[in-house]
A and B are shown apart, each in its own frame.
Chain A
């Protein structure tokens, strides 16, 4: 009897303990974190389907004739395979629908002038030869990262590829990824979550006209790699005086915390460390101009992450106040009647370079 009561008491205590532990854990979770990445970044895990991309290229002593033969085969294989069964817009776009994004290249920063005489800085993003490589329904898609919390609203996703290159440079398995879509193997691949209405048939090309002038986009890119940097460059600290008796401390951060009860370095304290080479998103950039010949978007600001000639990913903006008001080409732009699109499409407020000199009345 005594033993049983003892057991019961113990279990009750255990359950109580567990409850308390849970509480304490929750309270721990509420601690304020000043900087986002206190914990180390999660390891990059490639999707399960992604295979080894590049192969070791041996000098196989292939004769010139054979080389020509191979290139001929490549040409034959991919020329006839282009998917041209474009489908017309069946679904009308509504604001809660999510379209696919595109892979682009940041090609530089240029000024534009507005009709009110103001000069703005714009970043040029060249939309590469994007094609749909794969489409996953939410049931099919497996996240490469096991998540603790279950995702409730699973979305389908589209795999896009850009920049076709000679397939002989890739492994056989990597080239196999492009078998269903029938397009030439691409150098860059990206995954975009979409709503189920925005599904696209494999091999569909996506151009710069996927976006329209006056709308807003989010651009994701890998920031410049600065390596291990001091506090002045990394966080914009002022440093210390250069002279007036200051010795051995000119670019140092200074104090990093108080003493007493809280005598420790607080999590998130700004200190020297690794800077750049991380994926970052700049949100809410307006499209001022589109060049349809070279597929270039002029996007506001010079804060698009990454160096010139680096790869960026463009999405429709998620900012609620900058959502488009007019219907977008959905699921993407299709050239149905071979319409004549002007080479340069400008926003109404932008001064075109072909226009007459600005006058104010």
Chain B
């Protein structure tokens, strides 16, 4: 019963778009701040699929095997005991600390916006983008790569689109982030804010034909009429009603809950240790500068 209501809410959250929704979420966050004691500390089973999407196996029937998936999950959990992989989404700003075998004794911290998150299981990966010295830089990180020592979420938020590859053709200010950025505090249990920012694209030529992608996070594009006519011709607006396609591309909710119920205990344990660590961190005295 609880599961169904929450999933409905998730769907609602997806469907409603634009500024209105965000403002309501902001209100919600302000409310939750005042009533800190009532916040549920654990994620419910239905929320796990948003928080830990890589635990959901590949829906392609040809590649599925229950024992392989189980072993994969166990490996993921044992890696997660050594690295805190937090909840993050496309559009969140992350800082990843890693080591390179070609520069020993050095750690490397990269700050950037997550423009893509894909893959499942041990193959899960994400791309961070930033502009450093007027040069766009993108780094693809594998989540379970043992050279990653720390993944930190500096700003937890979502954008209007599921992938932000259009930032490559946008003005550089939209993907420039300070590498010394301080992590922003996100109250626990509060809904994830959606950043309604609309990006301004550079004039053509582009890497892709963005006018055909039905993007919500870009400003009005200044193009001749024929581009939009062609985009309309190629659009497939009926695909969102294609239930069979949806079915083939997703894993049924029952199966998802089964998977998450199996690993729920370990995940909760990991969350608890993370909280303890966080509390520890707050006690560290700030270093005086100058």
Q: Are A110 and B68 in contact, CB atoms less than 8 angstroms apart? A: yes
A104: min CB distance to chain B, Å: 12
Residue of B71, B72, B76, B81 ringed by the most chain A CB atoms within 10 A:
B71
User: In this assembly, does A291 line the interface, its C-beta being within 8 Å of a C-beta of chain B?
Assistant: yes
Of the listed stretches A21-29, A31-39, A85-93, A111-119, name the one at the interface; the rest are far from the partner chain: A111-119
Please provide the chain B residues from 144 to 164 with a CB less than 8 Å away from any CB of chain A in the complex.
144-149
B67 at the binding interface (Cβ < 8 Å): yes
As a 0/1 sequence over residues 348 to 359 of chain A, the CB contacts with chain B under 8 angstroms (1 = contact) are: 000101111111
Interface: B178 (CB within 8 A): no
Q: Is A180 an interface residue (CB 8 A)?
A: no
Q: Contact check, A296 vs B71: say whether CB atoms are below 8 A apart.
A: yes
Shortest Cβ distance from B59 into chain A, in angstroms? 14
* Interfacial chain A residues near B63, Cβ < 8 Å: 108, 308
B75 within 8 A of A: yes
Q: Which residues of B contact A225 (CB under 8 A)?
A: none
Is the CB of A59 closer than 8 A to any CB of chain B? no
Indicate if the CB atoms of B147 and A308 lie closer than 8 Å: no
Q: With the chains together, A361 CA to B81 CA distance in Å?
A: 23
Q: How far is the CB of B213 from chain A (nearest CB, A)?
A: 24
B105 within 8 A of A: yes
CB distance from A253 to the nearest CB of B (A): 29
Query: Is residue A124 within 8 Å, beta carbon to beta carbon, of the partner chain?
Result: yes
Interface set, chain B 128-179, CB cutoff 8 A to A? 142, 144-149
A197 within 8 A of B: no
> Are A108 and B146 within 8 A (Cβ)?
no
Q: How far is the CB of A145 from chain B (nearest CB, A)?
A: 34
Mostly, the B contact residues are: mixed
Query: Is A81 in contact with chain B by the CB < 8 A criterion?
Result: no
CB contact list, A334-355 vs B, under 8 A: 351, 353-355
Contact partner of A117 (CB less than 8 A), chosen from B70, B83, B147, is: B147
B64 at the A interface (CB under 8 A): yes
Chain B, 67-86, CB within 8 A of any chain A CB: 67-68, 70-72, 75-76, 78-79, 81-83
A41 to chain B, nearest CB (A): 26
Question: Is A307 close to B, CB under 8 A?
Answer: yes
Residues of B within 8 A of A111 (CB): 122-123, 142
Q: Name the A residues within 8 Å of B70 (CB-CB).
A: 294
A308 touches B62 (CB 8 A): yes
The answer to whether A354 and B145 have CB atoms under 8 Å apart is no
**Residues 70-108 of chain A, each 1 if its beta carbon lies under 8 Å from chain B, else 0:** 000000000000000000000000000000000000011
A168 adjacent to chain B (CB < 8 Å): no
Q: Is A215 an interface residue (CB 8 A)?
A: no
B81 proximity list for chain A (CB < 8 A): 354
From B76, B100, B105, B122, name the one whose CB has the most chain A CB atoms within 10 angstroms: B122
- With a CB–CB cut-off of 8 A, which chain A residues contact B78? 353-354
Cβ A358 vs Cβ B123 within 8 A:
no
Whether the Cβ atoms of A357 and B148 lie closer than 8 Å is yes
Q: Which of A108, A113, A116, A296 contacts B145 (CB 8 A)?
A: A113
| A309, CB-defined interface residue at 8 Å | yes
- A332 at interface (Cβ–Cβ under 8 A)? no
Given contacts A107-B65, A308-B64, contact A357 B71 (CB under 8 A): no
- 5 A-B pairs in the complex with CB atoms less than 8 angstroms apart: A110-B71, A124-B71, A291-B71, A308-B62, A360-B99
The residues of A with any CB-CB pair to B shorter than 8 Å are: 107-108, 110-111, 113, 116-117, 119, 124, 126, 291, 294, 296, 307-309, 351, 353-361
The 4 A-B pairs at the shortest CB distance, nearest first, are namely A108-B68, A360-B104, A107-B65, A353-B78
